[in-house]
Amino acid sequence: MDLQRWLGRAVAAIEEWQEGFGPYQADPSLLISDERFAVAFGELTGRLRNNYPFFHPSYAGQMLKPPHPAAVAGYLAAMLINPNNHALDGGPATGQMEKEAVATLAAMFGLGTHLGHLTTSGTIANLEALYVARETHPGRGVAYSEEAHYTHARMCGLLGIEGTPVPADGAGRMDPGALDALLAGGRIGTVVATAGTTGLGAIDPVHEVLAVARRHGARVHVDAAYGGFFTLLAGQAGPAGLDPAPWRAIAGCDSVVVDPHKHGLQPYGCGAVLFKDPDVGRFYLHDSPYTYFTSDELHLGEISLECSRAGATAAALWLTLRLLPPVPDGLGRALAGCRRAALDWAALLSESGRLELYQPPELDIVCYYPVTPGAALSEIDDASVSMLAEGMKQDRPVFLSTLRVTSAGMSRRHPGITADRDGARILRSVLMKPEARGYVPELHARVERLAAGIAG
């Protein structure tokens, strides 16, 4: 699609709607001439060049990419009106779109009845899930894998809940045996399973976690902020297909978080939390003397901890999901491309004499490290950091990221590495653009050259 054309159409469509309300004068205090705007805008676009090329396959670093053009056009059109999805008074059209988009996400996870809403981030979505968990299981703690996102420990602190990390196995997945032993102590009321860890992209065995948790009467929340859309590959034929068991089990869990601003092609400001039991809405109960008047229908602010939220976020997601529905043959094709890119690169890395795969990728995150003469953690750390810096300095740069791993984690996977430190940074690439696949051979060659350059 031609973004320039559709951005113009978005402005025209909203102006046409505005004209129906009759003429009015913009206040002179807000008028800006095109000449002045041109100067300031030139400065802005100039300053925006100080960025990494998240759009390009040579950016194989963090979990970042621009939104789909459809999301941009949808966001802009709605943003010109600037509805607020807190209440139907603030955003009748986008409030409805949010409910529809959330129902589509719930269906993707196989949740029938549900209660849910968009949030500004995965952090806030997880906060809400843990807040509800505290209310359903008062006085009991939360367990999460040692590989879980740091937000869980932070949010437990914020909510005044005791948070306990559970050891992970040699593939970075929560160890159900260790969880069972922890839950036997009776202090834990909620278990957080991660479907796609931020560091390694590992998938906790949600089905096993659920069985263990239920045996001990615990609640289960799934943090699928990063990995959630990969459920579209569950049980699919071909190399991109994933073991369906953990993904299918999400439908039996109590809540799940997914971030459309990660793999749902959205601009930042779009997380989502979904609860299986709509009755948890009672924990959000509050009154507002200012809003909730125009309709008896549910206002999203009545089931959300946040107040103002951009209606444009819902418009962008709704439009994108209409065009690329979250089904295997829709958005799933893009996810499959990302996973194939990771698998292709893993195959090249496992043949390389200069680079070593840290562990096989489960989704689209690839972790690897340079082979060093003494095979020691200190050397790996130094070389990884140098490669990251060197990659960005090249004429045509290549962008990677680093991940800190523990010496125990390394020796479980690579017993030959000398643990002369308690951990090391290794290299990590999130291949979250399907275009990455065609670039893998070049990326591999370039990263191998970086490793050779560091080795001298």
Ligand X SMILES: Cc1ncc(COP(=O)(O)O)c(C=O)c1O
Binding footprint of ligand X on the chain (CB under 6 A): 63, 121-123, 126, 149, 151, 194, 198, 223, 225-226, 259, 271
Q: Is 211 exposed, middle or buried (0-12, 13-18, 19+ CB in 10 A)?
A: middle
Shortest Å distance, C-beta 194 to ligand X = 5
Least distance CB 230 / ligand X (angstroms) = 12
Q: What is the CA radius of gyration of the chain?
A: 24
Cβ distance 313 to 118 under 8 Å? yes
Residue the block writes with tokens 């996870």? 109
Closest CA to 83 of 329, 333, 424, 316: 316
- And the tokens for 14? 């909203």
Structure tokens at 365: 């995150």
CB nearer to ligand X: give 269 or 281. Answer: 269
Nearest CB to ligand X, comparing residues 223 and 381: 223
Complex with ligand X: residue 230 or 292, whichever CB lies closer: 230
CB of 79 vs ligand X, minimal distance in Å:
20
Tell me whether residue 292 or residue 358 sits nearer to ligand X (CB atom).
358
Q: Which residue has the CB atom at the shortest distance from ligand X?
A: 122
CB 221 within 8 Å of CB 193: yes
* CB closer to ligand X, 172 vs 370: 172
CB of 179 to ligand X, least distance (A): 18
Q: Quick one: CA torsion of 268, 251, 116, 129, rounded to 10 degrees? A: -80
Q: Which helix (H) or strand (E) holds 178?
A: helix 176-184
Tell the smallest beta-carbon distance from residue 187 to ligand X (Å). Answer: 24
Which of these, 366, 325, 365, lies nearest to 357 by C-alpha position? 366
State the sign of the Cα–Cα–Cα–Cα dihedral 220, 226, 232, 235.
negative
φ, ψ at 370 (rounded to 5°):
-75, 140
In whole angstroms, the minimum distance from the beta carbon of 124 to ligand X comes to: 7
Q: Which is nearer to ligand X, 63 or 78 (CB)?
A: 63
Unique residue bearing structure tokens 């996810």: 335
When the beta carbons of 123 and 359 are compared against ligand X, the nearer one is 123
In the complex with ligand X, the residue whose CB is nearer, 172 or 271, is: 271
Beta bridge pairs of residue 164:
143
- Report in angstroms how near the CB of residue 156 gets to ligand X at its nearest: 14
Tell me which residue of 353, 421, 412, 397 sits closest to 52, measured CA to CA: 397
In the bound complex, what is the minimum distance in angstroms from residue 452's beta carbon to ligand X?
Answer: 32
